[in-house]
Structure 1
Amino acid sequence: MTSVDAEQAVTESTAVPLLEAMELTRHFRVGRGFSRQLLHAVDDVNFTIGRQEIVALAGESGSGKSTIARLLAGVYRPTSGEIRYQGRAMSTYRSRKDQLSYRADVPMVFQDPFSSLNPAFRVSHGVLRSLKLHRPELGRQQRFAEAERVIEAVGLSPAGDIMHRYPYELSGGQRQRIGFAQALAHKPKLILADEPVSMLDVSIRIGLLNLMAELRRSEGVSFLYITHDIASARYVADRLMIMYAGHVVETGPTESVLQNPKHPYTDLLLGAVPDPRAPLTTGIEGDTGEPPKVINPTPGCRFRGRCPLAVDRCHQETPVLRTLGTNHQAACHVAEPDPG
């Protein structure tokens, strides 16, 4: 390969998103017999995550955020649509070797730091087990050295002392840091962080958010940060996706979405949780309807029952994401694009 070919290959590899979801859909069957129905947890979702990028996925409970995380982690299979990792379709990962390789590259950090660690084993057990499973080339001494490195990388020291403790001897914040250490042991490229700070005291949440930013810088890892907290998303994320009733309704650079929201649901979220750093004004005064029905939903905007700006078209046609600003998209029939 010539130097020109090598340079072209590097350019192409960096141009391909780290992960891409295309028309990603997941439905669940609920009920039995004649009452069996279809719950639309995720419908036709499209997004990308770049290298060394932190993308926040925000929305209220039941919007489908955690379902997306489990689809990306391989816990659920898509009903339809495709996930591409580094340009390769996830559906082609058939062998155990391929699946282990993907799960090493894309681990998950769970919401509950109190149940995600086995109380019967020392802290070192989960980290060493991850190293043995996903990095078999390491010898026993190398695994211990790497375990100490990743534990120190997440801000816990002395690592040797921490490794010999049991989970009950650690605080909630320390346990969650061990969760990040277990993920980091894989040498991941993308960490799926499913509301990792929601069960922690407010006083220690900022430390975990800073940890994510530091791991992005020092380890070169990307994050999908799932949250219902707009303020924390603003603090740590490069891009923000707003999800409602299985649909991504708005996406764009974090500051663009929060300073100039295009979708009425984003407007309501900002009105409910104001950011003290900057006065954000909303044009909608309150919530006017019931939560959405995602079991056998009918066509139309799923937010229409709660939206005071809804028009007839909203009841008949499901809106799709359209560009309304620089890298800023929203799925809304009445949203206006930025002036020319």
Structure 2
Amino acid sequence: MDNNVRVIETKNLRKEFNVKVKRDDSKVKEVATLKAVDGINIYVNQGETLGVVGESGCGKTTTAKLLLGLHTPTGGKILLGDNDISHLTKKEMKHFRRRAQMIFQDPYESLNPRFKIKDTIMEPLEIHGIGINKEERYQMAKKILEESGLKPADQFMERFPHEMSGGQRQRVAIARALVLSPDFIIADEPVSMLDVSIRAGILKLLRNMITTRNLAGIIISHDISLIRYISDRTAVMYLGKVVEQGNTEEIIEKRYHPYTEALLEAAPNPDPELKFSLKKITGEAPNPVDLPTGCRFHPRCPKCMDICKRMEPREVDMGNGHRVLCHLYSEDGE
């Protein structure tokens, strides 16, 4: 594993949507701009897992869709190695699809109920022309199923998705994503639809696959304790911005942004001696169509200062790649 080989990177990545909204009591809908992703800079190296964590509506899934080419960026760049993949042609997109794969939240919804498991795994190989013939593709499908923990594979190849448990279906989804040997994978809430008893096994499988195959992995979740278990680095998102990012254990041990601290306080911890001094955040996240001025977190922040209401914070490097977007640590906030 070479942690210095950068696989995927974003530079000032932005995505805006035009939406129709009603203002006050007016019956007429106006067109407004929703800033789903607003100038984020993240990266993932070979053999590394980046966790993206935040509340619902913070832009996690939109970021994933941008990285996979399912949305076209409004601005900024997405780099796969040294290549800009922000705007690909149809021909280029097919080649890119082999290099980037997605593992969805609900394995039952993401698997075709009319396909046997063998057909589900072999279809990507046929589309991309991998394998000399059907028999070779069948053997490749068997091998990846067994690597994904479904042994012996012969017992699963002829089954339909409804004949398998939730954990088994998710292993099939992982096998389908990895059979093309992609450069990076994105897993969006990969265990939220599964029983608690089997979540650890799926997360361990994902982590092993990423490290042994030297992939770049992005795991999206609202649960920071899950992100801590599987990710090497973590990016905390709030209303389209990455407010803090760095080594996962450093963020857990020494978090700087009040929002990160609030996420950690909300996570259950078995240590009865562990105390947090920060008050819990209150209220709901602001409407993304009508964002507050200054720092987006200031209406809910217990450490809010006057400058937070007036000016957007700049990202500050706290050392060792740990960066935070907060006036508490910027020169403006001193």
TM-score, reference length from structure 2: 0.92
Q: What corresponds to 2:15 in structure 1?
A: 26
* Aligned residues with identical type, % of pairs: 38
Q: Secondary structure at the match of 1:325?
A: coil
**Residue 116 (1) aligns with residue 78 (2):** no
**Residue 52 (1) aligns with residue 47 (2):** yes
Report the Cα offset of residue 277 of structure 1.
Answer: 6.5
Cα separation, partners in 2 of 1:61 and 1:52, compared to 1, 3 Å: same
2:69–2:86 Cα contact (<8 Å) kept:
no
**Residue 71 (1) aligns with residue 60 (2):** no
Query: 56, 76, 79: which one pairs with 1:81?
Result: 76
Cα separation, partners in 2 of 1:324 and 1:15, compared to 1, 3 Å: closer
Report the Cα offset of residue 93 of structure 1.
Answer: 3.0
- Whole-angstrom distance in 1 between the partners of 2:172 and 2:100: 17
Report the Cα offset of residue 282 of structure 1.
Answer: 2.9
Query: 156, 164, 167: which one pairs with 1:170?
Result: 164
Cα separation, partners in 2 of 1:219 and 1:16, compared to 1, 3 Å: closer
Residue type at the aligned position of 1:243: M
- Whole-angstrom distance in 2 between the partners of 1:336 and 1:317: 12
Moved more, 284-293 or 270-279: 270-279
Report the Cα offset of residue 127 of structure 1.
Answer: 0.9
- Whole-angstrom distance in 2 between the partners of 1:22 and 1:39: 20
CA deviations 1:7-51 (Å, max 9, x no partner) are xxxx9xx85510110111111111177511111111000011101
- Whole-angstrom distance in 2 between the partners of 1:282 and 1:138: 60
Question: What is the total number of aligned residue pairs between the two structures?
Answer: 324
Residue type at the aligned position of 1:91: S
More helix by share: 1
Gap regions ≥5 residues in structure 1: 1-10
2:234–2:247 Cα contact (<8 Å) kept:
yes
Gap regions ≥5 residues in structure 2: 22-27
**Residue 305 (1) aligns with residue 299 (2):** yes
- Whole-angstrom distance in 2 between the partners of 1:67 and 1:325: 29
Mapping for residues 97-136 of structure 1, pairs under 5 Å: 98-136=92-130
Over aligned residues, Cα RMSD in angstroms?
2.0
Report the Cα offset of residue 285 of structure 1.
Answer: 1.2
- Whole-angstrom distance in 2 between the partners of 1:149 and 1:179: 14
Cα separation, partners in 2 of 1:280 and 1:100, compared to 1, 3 Å: farther
Report the Cα offset of residue 269 of structure 1.
Answer: 0.7
Moved more, 318-327 or 169-178: 318-327
Q: Secondary structure at the match of 1:304?
A: coil
2:38–2:241 Cα contact (<8 Å) kept:
yes
